[in-house]
């Protein structure tokens, strides 16, 4: 066979990845749009180590080659992630597209990646040299730039098991199906009794990477909903200043207006 | 290295070309399965839909290396089934076909819908064909045909 390797196991895949210049191939839905003539693929889509969804004490562990359809049919995957991936493209793409591929493609428009960011997911990366676990927020270094070495593969996405129940998600696309996000927004509010334990707001498809502003999010930590309401206007002003967006398929102004509307809607829906 | 082995419409075949070749092109050019249409080559139109291990897939977005060990069904194979006969009749009865270019993909999408859920709601049918574009029918006739096939083919799926 030319232009491809089909490893039988993850260790074999890592050896090939270290020794050859290959493109990791999971679902193919992004890669095959370009499919350059000289591409040499490392086919990972059928590796047992990468195609399972598991649960341990802390995390839901989604294998990098798990497809969106597989996740939608799993009782382990949190509703926030399911809602986001159910809006990706259409059934045939969801049958092939994978969580690892969505990350590896490096786009800020990747709908599952917005949830990875909002959930503070971690990624398990492996190479023949060993493995490391990185925060997804640190994995993205810039537009299409990832903290992934030439010999590394994305192996698992680790989603926290709890804390994502009270969420808000909206994708704004040009149509109902087969839509690339123009703006996507995900928010999570976790309460500890009367007080806010965690407030997260992630903005997808509006800049080089998914955006979050931890210093602004932290302003609501420890506050009651009515205390949060008191500082809401100031918080919204600060978000408005920080949201410096780029132009893409739509203008930066449109993106910003939609981001602010969705943030306001999220806060209002959650009683802030 | 060895050739890529897979099953095409029930027959075991070997492909000794590049692992980076598109399944769509290979099905049409090497195996003459011309029911598989090329509409966009970017997974946006569904005209190249096939069943890969029973799942609806855009064959334009699959490299041959990913097919190793899999089962592919195109309309050429599917049309030999009793389920196809029900869909064929249902589409024909209400003229759910106009130019026909999207229809091989639509029929395989219909199979994928009914195999997963023999009695879908209209909304579920619309989600099921949401990746298959049709420029002629306006979709309503196709949705009705799939709903009718679901009733007529009771027990087949």
DSSP secondary structure of A97-141 = -BHHHHHHT--TT-HHHHHHHHTT-EEEEEETTEEEEEEHHHHEE
- Structural domain harbouring A195: 167-269
pLDDT for A133-179, tens place per residue? 999 999 999 999 999 999 999 999 999 999 999 999 999 998 889 99
Within a domain: A3:
no
Mark whether B65 and B113 lie in a shared domain: no
How confident is residue A32, by pLDDT bands cut at 50, 70 and 90? very high
With beta carbons less than 8 A apart as the criterion, state whether B77 and B9 touch.
Answer: yes
pLDDT exceeds cutoff 90 at A199: yes
**Which of A160, A178, A197 is the endpoint of a domain?**
A160
Mark whether B111 and B49 lie in a shared domain: no
Look at residues A89, A43, A96, A49 and name the one whose alpha carbon lies nearest to residue A71.
A96
Within a domain: B36:
yes
Q: How many whole angstroms from its chain centre is CA A179?
A: 17
pLDDT exceeds cutoff 90 at A115: yes
Q: What is the mean pLDDT of chain A?
A: 96
Give the C-alpha separation, A127 to B142, whole Å: 49
Q: Which residues of A touch B109 (CB under 8 A)?
A: 91-92
Find the radius of gyration of the CA atoms of chain A: 19
Give the C-alpha separation, B146 to B137, whole Å: 14
Cβ contact A177–B56 (<8 Å): no
Give the C-alpha separation, A62 to A100, whole Å: 9
pLDDT exceeds cutoff 60 at B1: no
CA dist list (Å): A192 to A184, A197, A199, A223, A258:
27, 5, 11, 10, 30
Element holding A195 (H helix, E strand) = strand A195-204
Mark whether B90 and B68 lie in a shared domain: no
Name residues whose C-beta falls within 8 Å of residue B90's C-beta, 6 or more positions apart in sequence. B96, B145, B146, B148, B149, B152
Q: Using CB atoms, which residue from A43, A90, A91 is nearest to B65?
A: A43
pLDDT for B55-110, tens place per residue? 999 999 999 999 999 999 999 999 999 999 999 999 999 999 999 999 999 999 99
User: Is the Cα torsion angle B34, B40, B46, B49 positive or negative in sign?
Assistant: positive
Cβ contact B4–A31 (<8 Å): no
Percentage of chain B surpassing pLDDT 90?
A: 98
Give the C-alpha separation, B7 to B67, whole Å: 9
**Exposed/middle/buried for B98, CB within 10 Å: 0-12, 13-18, 19+?**
middle
What residues of chain A have any CB closer than 8 angstroms to a CB in chain B?
1-6, 25, 27-29, 31-33, 35, 39-41, 43, 45-46, 69, 89-93, 95-96, 176-178
Which comes out higher in pLDDT, residue B51 or A250?
B51
Name residues whose C-beta falls within 8 Å of residue A230's C-beta, 6 or more positions apart in sequence. none
Percentage of chain A surpassing pLDDT 90?
A: 96
Q: Region A89-93: what's the mean pLDDT?
A: 97
Number of domains chain B contains:
2
pLDDT of residue A161: 95
Q: Using CB atoms, which residue from B17, B22, B57 is nearest to A92?
A: B57
Mark whether B13 and B68 lie in a shared domain: yes
Look at residues B57, B80, B64 and name the one whose alpha carbon lies nearest to residue B22.
B64
Mark whether B64 and B86 lie in a shared domain: no
**What is the total residue count of chain B?**
157
pLDDT for A60-81, tens place per residue? 999 999 999 999 999 999 999 9
Cβ contact A177–B41 (<8 Å): no
How confident is residue A248, by pLDDT bands cut at 50, 70 and 90? confident
Give the C-alpha separation, A185 to A169, whole Å: 6
pLDDT of residue A1: 79
Give the C-alpha separation, A181 to A169, whole Å: 12
Within a domain: B135:
yes
pLDDT of residue B100: 96
* Residue found by looking up tokens 């919204």 in the block: A236
Enter the tokens of residue B116: 């997963």
Q: Region A13-24: what's the mean pLDDT?
A: 98
pLDDT of residue B2: 83
Mark whether A183 and A246 lie in a shared domain: yes
Give the C-alpha separation, A27 to A20, whole Å: 20
Which comes out higher in pLDDT, residue B154 or B127?
B127
Mark whether B67 and B96 lie in a shared domain: no
pLDDT exceeds cutoff 90 at B8: yes
CATH number of the domain residue B60 falls in: 3.10.20.30
Q: Which residues of A touch B143 (CB under 8 A)?
A: none
Q: Using CB atoms, which residue from A28, A92, A93 is nearest to B66?
A: A28
ipTM surpassing 0.90:
yes
């Amino acid at each position: 066979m030319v232009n491809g390797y089909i490893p039988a196991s993850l260790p074999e895949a890592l050896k090939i990845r270290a020794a050859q210049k290959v493109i990791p191939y999971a679902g193919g839905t992004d890669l095959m749009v370009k499919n350059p003539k000289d591409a040499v693929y490392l086919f990972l889509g059928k590796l047992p180590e990468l195609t399972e969804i598991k649960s341990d004490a802390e995390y839901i562990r989604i294998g990098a080659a798990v497809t969106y359809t597989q996740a939608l049919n799993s009782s382990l995957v949190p509703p926030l992630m399911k809602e986001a991936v159910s809006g990706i493209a259409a059934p045939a793409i969801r049958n092939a597209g994978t969580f690892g591929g969505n990350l590896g493609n490096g786009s800020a428009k990747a709908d599952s990646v917005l949830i990875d960011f909002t959930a503070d997911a971690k990624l398990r990366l492996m190479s023949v040299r060993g493995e490391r676990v990185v925060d997804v927020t640190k994995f993205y270094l810039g537009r299409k730039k990832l903290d992934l070495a030439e010999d590394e593969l994305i192996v698992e996405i680790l989603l926290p098991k709890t804390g994502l129940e009270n969420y808000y998600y909206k994708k704004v696309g040009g149509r109902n199906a087969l839509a690339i996000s123009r703006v996507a927004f995900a928010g999570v509010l976790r309460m500890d009794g009367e007080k806010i334990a965690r407030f997260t707001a992630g903005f997808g498809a509006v800049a080089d990477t998914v955006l979050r502003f931890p210093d602004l999010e932290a302003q609501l930590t420890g506050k009651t909903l009515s205390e949060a309401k008191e500082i809401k206007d100031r918080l919204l002003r600060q978000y408005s200043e920080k949201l410096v967006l780029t132009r893409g398929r739509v203008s930066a102004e449109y993106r910003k207006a939609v981001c602010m509307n969705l943030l306001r809607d999220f806060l209002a829906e959650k009683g802030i | 290295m060895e050739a890529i082995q897979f099953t095409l419409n029930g027959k075991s075949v070997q492909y000794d070309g590049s692992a980076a070749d598109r399944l769509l092109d290979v099905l049409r050019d090497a195996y003459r399965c011309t029911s598989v249409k090329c509409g966009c080559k970017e997974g946006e139109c569904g005209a190249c839909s096939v069943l890969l291990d029973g799942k609806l897939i855009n064959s334009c977005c699959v490299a041959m290396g990913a097919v190793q060990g899999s089962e592919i069904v195109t309309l050429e194979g599917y049309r030999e089934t009793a389920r196809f006969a029900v869909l064929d009749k249902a589409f024909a009865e209400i003229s759910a076909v106009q130019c026909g270019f999207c229809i091989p993909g639509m029929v395989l999408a219909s199979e994928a819908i009914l195999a997963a859920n023999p009695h879908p709601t209209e909304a579920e049918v619309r989600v099921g064909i949401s990746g298959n574009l049709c420029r002629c029918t306006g979709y309503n006739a196709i949705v009705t045909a799939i709903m009718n096939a679901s009733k007529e083919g009771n027990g087949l799926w």
